[in-house]
Amino acid sequence: MSSRTVATLITALVLVVVLLLMLRSWRRRSRRDAALPAGYPQPATGSHELASAAALYVATTPRDQPLERLNIPGLGFRARGGVSVTEQGVLLELAGSAALFIPADAVELVTHATWAIDRAVEPGGLLLLGWRLNRTDGQDGPAGTADPDAPASVDSYFRFSDPADRTAISEAITTLTGRATGTPGSTAFGTEESEV
């Protein structure tokens, strides 16, 4: 065998090993996050829409860990879709998954971010929606999880092609929650935060 053939075989072997490790990691993450609830039950009655816009859903991560993607059913992959803010909460309609509802009382913050796993943009180019996972058993962590380290609060990131849409959605969520927006301040994670 020539040295070129040996080098090609070694490179191919390394690539196969890396791909297998990536697949193993994604499957482990999927098993870990399978019990995390995806949104809340949608309200039986419709409500007035405050704002709506097309967006690119980027990722959902544990609170303040923008590089640790969660594989929550329906929120595991980037997707195009829409974000609607109604009088009852936030509705996420993402391509390839069922609509997800987040009630107003589960929204903890709305702010702008510059980066998250899989996406880096201009300063403040992402909308960060911080919310509590659905609890049905009265405990602090997410329902149905045996993992004490499972996140109770998460951050979902969205990219809007028009900055005016990002502003409209952000203001509608602030209005919806009925809480004043705090003074923005830099965090260690590249966000400009404002508590809602």
For residue 36, tell me if it sits in a domain.
Answer: no
Cα–Cα distance between 117 and 155 in angstroms, integer? 11
Q: How distant is the alpha carbon of residue 104 from its chain centre?
A: 17
Number of domains in the chain: 1
Cα–Cα distance between 93 and 44 in angstroms, integer? 17
Confidence at 180, pLDDT banded by 50, 70, 90: very low
Count the helix, strand and coil residues of the chain and give each as a percent rounded to the nearest 5: 25, 35, 40
CATH of the domain at 116: 2.30.29.30
For residue 165, tell me if it sits in a domain.
Answer: yes
3-state secondary structure of 4: helix
- Structural domain including 141 reads 49-193
For residue 11, tell me if it sits in a domain.
Answer: no
Position 133 pLDDT exceeds 80: yes
For residue 7, tell me if it sits in a domain.
Answer: no
For residue 44, tell me if it sits in a domain.
Answer: no
Cα–Cα distance between 84 and 54 in angstroms, integer? 9
Residues 6+ apart with CB under 8 A from 68: 61, 62, 117
pTM for this prediction: 0.75
pLDDT in tens, 11-68: 999 999 999 998 898 788 777 777 788 788 888 877 889 999 999 999 999 998 998 8
Q: Which candidate, 149, 152, 154, places its Cα nearest to that of 32?
A: 149
Cβ contact 114:80 at 8 Å: no
Position 144 pLDDT exceeds 80: no
For residue 120, tell me if it sits in a domain.
Answer: yes
For residue 82, tell me if it sits in a domain.
Answer: yes
Sheet strands (E) in the chain: 49-62, 79-86, 89-94, 100-103, 107-113, 115-116, 119-120, 126-132, 153-159, 185-186, 191-193
Within a 10 A sphere around the Cβ of 53, how many other Cβ atoms?
A: 20
For residue 96, tell me if it sits in a domain.
Answer: yes
Confidence at 122, pLDDT banded by 50, 70, 90: confident
Token pair 């929606």 is at which residue? 129
